[in-house]
Amino acid sequence: MPSRLFATIDRTLFPGRFRALRVVLAGFVLWNAVVRVGLALYERDLALLVPWRLVPALLIGLVFDAGVATFVLAPLALILWAWPARLEGRVRHLVTALLLPLAAMWAFIGGSELVFWNEFTSRFNFIAVDYLVYTNEVIGNIRESYDLPLALAAVAAVTLALWALLARAAWRTLSVPQAAGAPRRAAGAWVVLALAAYLGLDARLAEFSSDGRANELAANGWFSFGHAFWRNEIDYDRFYATLPAERASAALAAELAPAPADGSPRPYERDVRGEGPERKLNVVLVSVESLSAEFLGVFGNEARLTPNLDRLASEGLLFTRLYATGTRTVRGLEALTLSMPPTPGHSIVKRPDNGGLFTAGEVFREKGYEPIFVYGGYGYFDNMNAFFGGNGYTVVDRTVLRADQIHYENIWGVADEDLFDLTIRELDRRHAAGKRFFAHVMTTSNHRPYTYPEGRIDIPPKSGRHGGVKYTDWAIGHFVEEARKRPWFDDTIFVVVADHTHRGRGRTDLPIENYHIPMVVWSPRHVKPGRVDTIASQIDVAPTLLGMLGFSYRSRFFGHDVLREGAARPRALMANYQTVGLYQDGVVVELKPNRRVRIVDAVTGEERPLDERGRRLLDEAIGYYQVASSAYAKGELKQKLAVAAPPKAAASP
């Protein structure tokens, strides 16, 4: 019986010259299996190669590969059906020619997956979709990070090898006789299969393991890209676990107490009363690209990559258990500016209608400060200029710099020392005009291709991540010493915090160690040295900083002041594309699409039962994300009057 079934399928799908599709199908499945094994080997972790991880990944991957293959083969099937009988002799040449661009696509996507995995330990996702928009930066980054001629030569060589194998095998099949009507039935069958794959393939199929990397291996890059393209925006209430609105609000209110005196129904809206008189000090917040806590000597690193940051940590207030909300810069900017959880989908920095929101800059503006966003790249990237400009910040980016003010630049922006020199000039101008300032400065040098001016540190440019970290640390030391010479220095608080870490996925969707970032608050005259060992989130940075200044204000922040409330409510929130979560009491609560929830041990990654404590934490996690998603969707995080976008800064003098 099985043999008859397979024979019927074979006759239906591969009659006559359609047998060439059998060759392409086999080639596509085998090639993707090679890519899958290659990614596992590239990870250099034997845990991924054990049979109970690798074999299921290959088998599940086979299902994805076969499903995606139907989209590749359906157009070829239609061509083979529609090709006129009078040109029968030329069909070999046509198919052979078509196999060349097909082989090139396979080779190029396979190479792209290796590059993407190197950066994010993931199949294509939201980031890959974004990269289609910012092709200049992405292509420039690849050109500066890799030996592009060698990479293209390798793609060309693989393309020719694949083409030779496919063409040779297909050539022999293209003259096989076929029965009347068989081509039409075969073409129709392939179209139906493609439709069935579109409707039936589900990303959840890849989630067979508690190891996030193994799940990524089981996926298919072609499918993952399409899935991310169509699901960039995610409706929380539709796809994630929810609670009745009143219960979700109550769960969040318990975390953000006390409630406002006027009885506002919004649990995140409350009156913050500062302790003591307000201290009208300038603030410079430096968010450092990809600065994992593990790079700093104060966290045990012995490579002496961060002598300046280690010194600031010993002289200032070091937060030792702070966690990033995401794995991209826009998530860090969102958390530091809006103090809200990383709701599913794109960061709010990249969403439409994201102007006029309640931000840290708005609180400073109400206190008489000028909020400024300073960036060493072109701020159109990731929508940063539009977001900050639309929320009342003065935007200062690479466009204001003259050629003689740039020591070095790459595709992402000018060297960090040039960014900090620009910052000094901008702050000098504000001080000279009698303005207090809140400056948010975003660095770029600690990013592939890790290039910077020669002679600054003992690691040559383009040597890898350690060089990027050490150069950024040097630039921060240079900035601090230049700031010491300024009349505004004694009345300024400096905050250094990472936007995210240098790692993405790990053995779970939200590996807590991959979100650990440093934060130092430093001001010799105003901040006493010390350590804060409370678990905290990036969304707590703005409320904590405002609390240190003694500011009273009406808050719509979801974070809290770590120094005043943190010890009673130690928790962190984080996201990785579609999975959002809460870290507390040694476990991570994961909220996933299709209303799936999971509680895992933060150390071992093992799944925990949903006991009474687990249900309490689950309610808390849902409360944060459900209320935040609803508040943004309803426009409840808008200011009473939207802030008009101020003009960009003029060219730097």
Return the HEC string of 511-556: CHHHHEEEEEEECCCCCCCEEECCCEEHHHHHHHHHHHCCCCEEEC
Instruction: Report, as an integer, the average pLDDT of 445-473.
Output: 93
pLDDT tens figures, 415-435: 999 999 999 999 999 999 999
Q: Which of 32-46, 198-212, 534-548 has the highest mean pLDDT?
A: 534-548
Domain boundaries, the chain: 2-230, 269-298+306-570
Query: Is the model's pLDDT at 324 over the cut of 90?
Result: yes
- DSSP one-letter string for 391-418: TTPEEE-GGG--GGG-S-EETTEE-HHH
Give the per-residue pLDDT at 81: 80
pLDDT at 87: 60
Lowest mean pLDDT among 81-95, 356-370, 453-467: 81-95
Interval 616-640 mean pLDDT: 91
Q: Is the dihedral of CA 595, 598, 599, 602 positive or negative?
A: negative
Residue 177 or 220, more confident: 220
Helix (H, G, I), strand (E, B) or coil at 587: strand
Looking at per-residue confidence, does 377 or 583 come out higher? Answer: 583
User: How large is the average pLDDT for residues 8-34?
Assistant: 83
* pLDDT at position 278: 94
Mean pLDDT of 359-368: 96
Average pLDDT of the chain is 88
What proportion of the chain, given as a percentage, has pLDDT over 90?
54
pLDDT band at residue 643, thresholds of 50, 70 and 90? Answer: very low
> Averaged over 559-572, what is the pLDDT?
92
As a CATH number, domain 269-298+306-570 is 3.40.720.10
Cα 224 to chain centroid, rounded = 15
Stronger pLDDT, 171 or 156, i.e. the higher one: 156
Residue 637 near residue 341 (C-beta atoms within 8 A): no
The β-bridge relationship of strands 579-584 and 409-410 is unpaired
**Strand bridging mode 530-532 / 317-323:** parallel
Tell me: the pLDDT tens digits for 24-67? 889 999 999 999 999 999 888 888 888 888 899 999 999 999 99
Residue-level pLDDT at 295: 97
What tens digit of pLDDT does each residue of 81-121 get? 877 665 666 767 777 888 899 899 999 989 888 888 887 77
DSSP, residue by residue, 436-478: EEEEEEE--SSSTT----TTSSSS-TTS-HHHHHHHHHHHHHH
Q: Give the number of other Cβ atoms within 10 Å of residue 462's Cβ.
A: 15
pLDDT in tens, 260-316: 666 677 889 989 999 889 999 999 999 999 999 999 999 999 999 999 999 999 999
Residue percentage of the chain with pLDDT more than 70: 90
Per-residue pLDDT reduced to its tens digit, 398-412: 999 999 999 988 888
Q: Which residues contact 64 (CB under 8 A, 6 or more apart)?
A: 201, 205, 206, 218, 219, 220, 223
pLDDT tens string 504-537: 666 788 999 999 999 999 999 999 999 999 999 9
> Which residue in this structure is represented by tokens 């010491």?
484
Q: For residues 146 and 446, what is the distance between their CA atoms, to the nearest angstrom?
A: 16
The residue that leads in pLDDT, 165 or 483, is 483
Look at residue 189 in the predicted model and tell me its pLDDT. 84
**Cα–Cα distance between 303 and 320 in angstroms, integer?**
19
Structure-block tokens of residue 9: 């399928």
| Selection from 180-184, 282-286, 384-388, 505-509 with the highest mean pLDDT | 282-286
